[in-house]
Amino acid sequence: MVTQERNGVVTLTGKPAVLLGPDIAEGSVAPPFRVVDEGFNVVSLDSFAGSPLLISSVPSLDTSVCALQTKRFNAEIGKLKGLSAITVSTDLPFAQKRFCAAEKISGIRVLSDCVWREFGMNYGLLLKGMGLLARAVIVIGRDGRVSYCEIVGEISQHPDYDAALRAAGAARA
């Protein structure tokens, strides 16, 4: 199987980066994925079936923008009842657990794509040659379709939080 490579979508500190996997379009059926939680238990897209889902994809929680992105969505998620939210990175679950404890992250689940890289590949967010995920926000509606997708063009920049939260709010309807 040939892996699709996408150029010209993102940069990392101004340098072009290559994304592996398909482009995910709004309106498309959300691809399945498996990631792991802090205990290496499998969590899949099916775990959120019937509930709208906000996915915050970050390269590493050990960077300031990723930490701020996770903390921002954690703070906002409580205002959006009936919405599930996850942050996905390729950080090891042990590191994610330490981060969540230190930052008091409890509203958003923090999950790892370190085992299969299935989320990154299926959502076209895996950075070639780095093993990290691109910064993105994806909202999946109750119907299992992608209703919002922002891949941040410069990975070191923040996503459009307001647009993502509006989309997440609309997905609850």
CA distances from 156 to 19, 54, 148, 152 (A): 15, 20, 21, 9
Give the span between the Cα atoms of 125 and 134, in whole angstroms: 5
> How do residues 30-64 score in pLDDT, each as one tens digit?
999 999 999 999 999 999 999 999 999 999 999 99
Indicate if the pLDDT at residue 3 is higher than 90. Answer: no
Q: What is the pLDDT of residue 47?
A: 97
Indicate if the pLDDT at residue 2 is higher than 80. Answer: no
Q: Quick check: is 66 catalytic? A: yes
Handedness of CA 42, 141, 3, 15 (dihedral sign): negative
Beta bridge partners of 85: 54
Report the percentage of the chain scoring pLDDT > 90: 96
State the virtual CA torsion across 104, 110, 36, 144 in degrees, nearest 10.
Answer: 140
Amino acid in position 171 = A
**Choice among 66, 100, 114, 149 that is catalytic:** 66
> Average pLDDT for residues 159-170, to the nearest whole number?
97
Give the chain's length: 173
Give the span between the Cα atoms of 169 and 173, in whole angstroms: 7
Q: What is the pLDDT of residue 87?
A: 98
Q: What is the pLDDT of residue 143?
A: 96
Cα Rg of the chain, angstroms: 15
Give the span between the Cα atoms of 72 and 76, in whole angstroms: 6
- Does the pTM surpass 0.95? The reply is yes
Q: What is the pLDDT of residue 78?
A: 87
Contact 96, 102 (CB under 8 A): no
Q: What is the pLDDT of residue 1?
A: 65
- What are the sequence ranges of the domains in the chain? 15-21+31-143
- Write out the CATH class of domain 15-21+31-143: alpha beta
